[in-house]
């Protein structure tokens, strides 16, 4: 590789960044793809990893392995933390907290969004979000451990608290989690316990809107609500979760009225997203406008106004109400690569045109919604369509084959094959059980460390 080739730096190896880097795989440029996790995660199936159907390996792939055949693409582990726009440099942090510098001629910002707690970061201690593999494994630990703890308790309010699962957010992720927890309780765990009846587990789903899955056509979201209720999910619409504690939550009706409290030892948060901190930093350094969630306003070619060399793609794009979906990120990745090729050829860049290929949401076994233009499917046909789409976009042929095999086996039998959860080492600084952070175990941990 010669040093005078155009240096393209892609921040983030999600759908947008991966598609961009892959598409530049044979172009006359040097590409560096930086990701803080070093792997591509198929976020749409995170909830299946969290609830024990799929393994971490089935929904993710090492970026190094994925891009190994492209000799002009270098993949690096690190978190972009700062930008020197004048010198065209990005400062990145290694996991050991040391930093390094990366130069660019073109910067593609594909760092995506993170969970938003709407200014209440303290909720995250009790209510993990659902954006990363760490989140999925944390949720898996909490779900399965809740049933285990309940099994050791006598009948009563404490046990009921452990068998109550509260989910904030009635979008696709909240709905998927709610459905999966009820399915776990009524199928996979149904006959395994002696003291508790797992099917007694209560799943409460809270949302500020009037219906779940409000992004879908009204008829479809009404069907989704019926399916959830049939599964045993309690829907609480028109309310905001306004407090999250160790033992439960408080919800406030949107239209006024008194607060209500619910005892729940497992709370999951899927209610909102916001730009990752580096994206906010980029907007600040470049003087770019961003919306309340941190999406960056861009030109029609997705470049930052006044900075043709910085292209924003995927969830971070703040233009034309583009949806935060994988398809938008993939198309953005291909578009950014196209812009770079046009620049090299001295041709004008094209405007980004998003082609809406529809949306799908899983509800429960045999039930999913699929909306593609005028085609609106719910139930079994929607479920088949959902399955085909997800397999088609899963990264890696091996992952596709093993996921189909796992799904077929979980349809035939109630089992979930990836239920193992980690407790962490008592001597480590991590606190895998947030509920023990203020209890006696943390004292024990402190003693072990000293």
- The nearest distance, CB 130 to ligand FAD, in angstroms, is 5
Q: Does the protein bind ligand FAD through residue 329 (CB under 6 A)?
A: yes
H helices of 152-197, in order, are 157-162, 172-183
Residues 6+ apart with CB under 8 A from 81: 91, 92, 93, 99, 277, 278, 281
Task: Identify the residue among 33, 108, 110, 264 touching ligand FAD (CB under 6 A).
Answer: 110
Task: Identify the residue among 216, 278, 352, 383 touching ligand FAD (CB under 6 A).
Answer: 278
Q: Residue 396 and residue 17: Cα distance in Å, rounded? A: 16
- The nearest distance, CB 315 to ligand FAD, in angstroms, is 4
What x/- string results for residues 52 through 81 when contact with ligand FAD is judged by CB under 6 A? ---------------------------xx-
Q: Residue 15 and residue 110: Cα distance in Å, rounded? A: 8
Q: Does the protein bind ligand FAD through residue 173 (CB under 6 A)?
A: yes
Measured CA distances, 353 to 10, 131, 302, 389 (Å): 21, 27, 10, 21
Q: Which is nearer to ligand FAD, 200 or 301 (CB)?
A: 301
Helix, strand, coil in percent for the chain, rounding step 5: 35, 25, 40
Q: Does the protein bind ligand FAD through residue 34 (CB under 6 A)?
A: yes
**β-bridge mates for residue 114, sequence order:** 274
Query: Positive or negative CA dihedral for 45, 49, 52, 54?
Result: positive
Of 30-38, 257-265, 298-306, 400-408: span binding ligand FAD (CB under 6 A): 30-38
Contact 240, 203 (CB under 8 A): no
- The nearest distance, CB 253 to ligand FAD, in angstroms, is 27
Q: Which is nearer to ligand FAD, 15 or 165 (CB)?
A: 15
Q: Does the protein bind ligand FAD through residue 50 (CB under 6 A)?
A: no
- In the structure encoding, which two tokens stand for residue 186, read together? 């009524």
Q: Does the protein bind ligand FAD through residue 432 (CB under 6 A)?
A: no
Q: Does the protein bind ligand FAD through residue 335 (CB under 6 A)?
A: no
Q: Does the protein bind ligand FAD through residue 22 (CB under 6 A)?
A: no
Q: Which is nearer to ligand FAD, 393 or 421 (CB)?
A: 393
Task: Identify the residue among 29, 46, 127, 267 touching ligand FAD (CB under 6 A).
Answer: 46
Q: Does the protein bind ligand FAD through residue 15 (CB under 6 A)?
A: yes
Q: Which residue has the tokens 């009037």?
A: 210
Q: Does the protein bind ligand FAD through residue 32 (CB under 6 A)?
A: no
- 3-state SS, residue 112: coil
- The nearest distance, CB 51 to ligand FAD, in angstroms, is 12
Q: Which is nearer to ligand FAD, 15 or 144 (CB)?
A: 15
- The nearest distance, CB 112 to ligand FAD, in angstroms, is 3
- The nearest distance, CB 153 to ligand FAD, in angstroms, is 31
Q: Taking the CB of residue 439, how many other CB atoms lie within 10 A of it?
A: 11
Contact 363, 174 (CB under 8 A): no
Contact 124, 131 (CB under 8 A): no
Q: Does the protein bind ligand FAD through residue 36 (CB under 6 A)?
A: yes
Task: Identify the residue among 52, 314, 385, 396 touching ligand FAD (CB under 6 A).
Answer: 314
Q: Does the protein bind ligand FAD through residue 133 (CB under 6 A)?
A: no
- The nearest distance, CB 432 to ligand FAD, in angstroms, is 21
For 231-250, give one letter per residue: b (16+ CB within 10 A) or e: bbbebbbebbbeebbeebbe
Q: Does the protein bind ligand FAD through residue 11 (CB under 6 A)?
A: yes
Length of the chain as a residue count: 450
Q: Residue 347 and residue 353: Cα distance in Å, rounded? A: 18
Helix (H) or strand (E) holding 341: helix 326-345
Nearest-CB residue for ligand FAD: 14
**β-bridge mates for residue 241, sequence order:** 251
Q: Does the protein bind ligand FAD through residue 324 (CB under 6 A)?
A: yes
Q: Does the protein bind ligand FAD through residue 170 (CB under 6 A)?
A: no
Tell me, yes or no, if 176 is annotated catalytic.
yes
Q: Which is nearer to ligand FAD, 147 or 362 (CB)?
A: 362
Point out the catalytic residue in the list 66, 79, 176, 371. Answer: 176
Q: Residue 173 and residue 171: Cα distance in Å, rounded? A: 6
Q: Does the protein bind ligand FAD through residue 112 (CB under 6 A)?
A: yes
DSSP code string of 272-304: -EEE-HHHHHHHHHHT--B-TT-PBP--TTSEE
Catalytic residues: 176
Binding site for ligand FAD (CB under 6 A): 11-17, 34-37, 43-44, 46-47, 79-80, 110-112, 130-131, 172-173, 276, 278, 314-315, 324-327, 329
């Amino acid at each position: 590789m010669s040093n005078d080739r155009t240096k393209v730096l892609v921040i983030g190896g999600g759908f947008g960044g991966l598609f961009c880097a892959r598409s530049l795989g044979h172009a006359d440029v040097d590409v560096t793809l930086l990701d803080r996790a070093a792997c591509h995660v198929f976020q749409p199936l995170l909830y299946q990893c969290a609830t024990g159907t799929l393994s971490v390996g089935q929904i993710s792939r090492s970026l190094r392995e994925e891009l190994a055949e492209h000799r002009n693409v270098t993949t690096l582990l690190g978190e972009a933390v700062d930008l020197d726009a004048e010198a065209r440099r990005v400062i990145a942090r290694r996991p050991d907290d040391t930093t390094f510098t990366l130069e660019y001629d073109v910067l593609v910002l594909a760092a995506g969004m993170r969970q938003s707690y709407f200014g209440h970061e303290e909720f995250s201690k009790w209510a993990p979000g659902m954006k990363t593999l760490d989140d999925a494994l944390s949720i898996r630990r909490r779900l399965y451990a809740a049933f285990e703890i309940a099994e050791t308790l006598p009948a009563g309010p404490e046990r009921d608290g452990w068998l109550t699962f509260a989910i904030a957010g009635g979008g696709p992720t909240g709905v998927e989690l709610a459905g999966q927890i009820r399915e776990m309780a009524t199928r996979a765990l149904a006959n395994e316990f002696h003291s508790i009846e797992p099917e007694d587990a209560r799943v409460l789903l809270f949302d500020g809107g009037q219906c779940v899955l409000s992004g879908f056509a009204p008829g479809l979201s009404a069907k989704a609500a019926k399916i959830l209720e049939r599964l045993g999910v309690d829907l609480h619409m028109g309310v905001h979760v306004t407090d999250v504690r160790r033992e439960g939550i408080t919800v406030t009706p949107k239209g006024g009225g008194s607060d209500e409290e619910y005892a729940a030892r497992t709370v999951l948060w899927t209610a909102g997203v916001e730009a990752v901190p580096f994206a906010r930093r980029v907007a600040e350094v470049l003087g770019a406008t961003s919306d309340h969630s941190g999406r960056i306003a861009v030109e029609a070619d997705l470049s930052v106004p006044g900075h043709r060399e910085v292209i924003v793609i995927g969830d971070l794009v703040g233009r034309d109400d583009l949806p935060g979906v994988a398809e938008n990120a993939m198309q953005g990745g291909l578009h950014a690569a196209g812009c770079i090729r046009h620049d090299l050829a001295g041709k004008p860049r094209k405007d980004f045109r998003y082609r809406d290929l529809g949306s799908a949401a899983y509800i429960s076994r045999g039930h999913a919604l699929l909306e593609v233009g005028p085609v609106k499917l719910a139930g079994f046909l929607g479920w088949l369509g959902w399955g085909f789409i997800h397999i088609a976009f899963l990264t890696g042929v091996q992952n596709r084959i093993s996921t189909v095999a796992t799904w077929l086996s979980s349809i035939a039998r109630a089992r979930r094959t990836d239920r193992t959860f980690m407790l962490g080492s008592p001597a480590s600084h991590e606190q895998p059980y947030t509920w023990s952070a203020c209890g006696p175990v943390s004292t024990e941990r402190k003693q072990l460390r000293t």
